[in-house]
Amino acid sequence: MNHDYPLTYCTNIHPGDAWADVRRNLEDHSLQVKRACSPEHSFPLGLRLSAPAAFELDGAEIHRFANWCEARDCYVLTLNGFPYGAFHGTRVKEAVYLPDWRDPLRAAYTNRLADILAQWTPRGQARSISTVPVACRSGFAAEHWTQVRTHLLHTLTHLARLHEHGGPLIRLALEPEPYCVLEQTREVVEFFERMRFPASVADYIGLCFDCCHQAVEFEQPTDCLAELERAGIRVVKVQVSSALRARGNAIANLLAFDEPTYLHQAVLRTQDGELLRFSDLPGLARWLERGEPADECRVHFHVPIFLAELGEVGTTRFFLEDCLPRLAPETPLEVETYSFGVLPPALRLDSPGASIARELNWVRETLDAAHGRH
């Protein structure tokens, strides 16, 4: 098996938000995945640190964890700084975006993550922190852009100073998502044109390209990646994820995935080609009650990436199969299937550790096949 690809999974799939939870999940799950997928090679970690965990860590514990990684042949490749607080076992929904980039708390949290990550990263290497796509679309107004730019510049300046003072290159990776201020690729391009970040900090921001999110938008990998390249927007990392998909009369089967924890945005394509957007599955259900015919619907629900079908619905695995071979080989890849615990019981597969290993192996096999490697 080829190990050249910088490939990991995001630990946000494991419940728990305190630092003790993070450590326990690494011991119980991540090391199991390393043994299965990378027993003889250093294993990258896609670490999710909540704000409570990040501010709980002191210098001694940061140093202890660096030693832990070295002893177990692991290293931190990227941090997920998207969910600020609880992410499992409670109603998350729209609260996952809060505090957003209108709030100085978001900048303070992200700066803290950068300070921690800098201590876990060898000089001369690059790392990333993914973050919310500015804010949820609902309630965002034009007058908020000034606050957003101020707080983003505060963090980008912080990243630049870390680097200039001998630290690693750490980039902020905005993650577009349906129902958010940054949703479609064209909105990402417009955002960078609007922000006009100074040249002194422009290299410290880019994109976390989540394949599930862009597939839900009915975007094509070749088109959106080319649009980002033309605009000079760096893809800092790619989250390898897959969405739900159904066509025609089968669209109603998507409603079985409605659950109370996460927001499951839906985009429906009518038979005339119009795209209708719903913030969550109840909105889709109300539209379907009208009885109007539809062509296809895709839903933001991170499902196991190796599956082309899941029960009576399909997935957007085809997007991954098209997208992955188009990426630069050095692009960090982070599998992010955090919904194992909220899948309908009949559709739950292996243990999380076994499923993660299967997902990482699927990515490697897909890339090896695309690049003619064995």
Which pLDDT does position 63 carry in this prediction?
A: 98
Q: H or E element: which one contains 209? A: strand 205-210
Question: Structural domains in the chain?
Answer: 7-243+307-370 (3.20.20.150)
pLDDT at residue 151, as a whole number: 98
* 261 pLDDT more than 90: no
Average pLDDT over residues 25-41: 95
| Angle, helices 145-164/104-119, rounded to nearest 10 degrees | 20
DSSP 304-360: -TT-SEETTEEE-HHHHHHHGGGS-TTS-EEE----GGGS-GGG--S-HHHHHHHHH
Predicted TM-score of the model (pTM): 0.95
Sign of CA dihedral 317, 8, 347, 131: negative
What is the pLDDT at residue 221?
98
pLDDT tops 50 at residue 32: yes
Burial code (b: 16+ CB inside 10 Å, e: under 16) for 71-95 equals ebebbbbbbbbbbbebbbeeebebe
Query: Rounded CA gap, 89 and 68, in Å?
Result: 28
Name the least confident of 104-113, 149-158, 290-299, 336-345: 336-345
Q: Looking at 35-44, 199-208, 340-349, which range is the least confident one?
A: 340-349
User: Would you state the pLDDT for residue 1?
Assistant: 40
- Read off the pLDDT of each residue in 159-183 and give the average, rounded to a whole number: 98
- The rounded distance, in Å, linking the Cα atoms of 193 and 303 is 34
Residue 283 to residue 45: CA distance in whole angstroms: 37
- Give me the pLDDT at residue 89, please: 73
- Look at residues 309, 202, 172 and name the one whose alpha carbon lies nearest to residue 253: 309
Residue 331, pLDDT > 60, answer yes
Residue 12 tokens read as: 């946000």
Mean pLDDT of all residues in the chain? 94
pLDDT, position 340: 64
pLDDT at 102 over 60: yes
pLDDT of residue 39: 95
Read off the pLDDT band of 344 (50, 70, 90).
low
Q: pLDDT at position 156, please?
A: 98
* Cα–Cα separations (whole angstroms), residue 333 to 91, 128, 150, 168, 215: 28, 11, 30, 19, 17
Distance CA 6, CA 75 (A): 11
Q: Is pLDDT above 50 for 361?
A: yes
pLDDT band per the 50, 70, 90 thresholds, residue 187: very high
User: If you average pLDDT over residues 125-148, what whole number do you get?
Assistant: 97
For residue 139, give both structure tokens: 């309630």
Rounded mean pLDDT of 178-196? Answer: 98
Q: What is the number of other CB atoms lying within 10 angstroms of the CB of residue 68?
A: 13
Residue type at position 226: A
Average pLDDT over residues 210-222: 98
| Residues contacting residue 175 through CB under 8 Å, at least 6 positions apart | 82, 130, 131, 132, 133, 182, 207, 208, 210, 213, 239
Work out the average pLDDT over 110-135.
97
Torsion angle defined by CA atoms of residues 81, 86, 87 and 93, in that order, rounded to the nearest 10 degrees: -100
Residue type, 281: L
165 pLDDT above the threshold of 80: yes
d(CA 101, CA 182): 12
DSSP state of 142: G
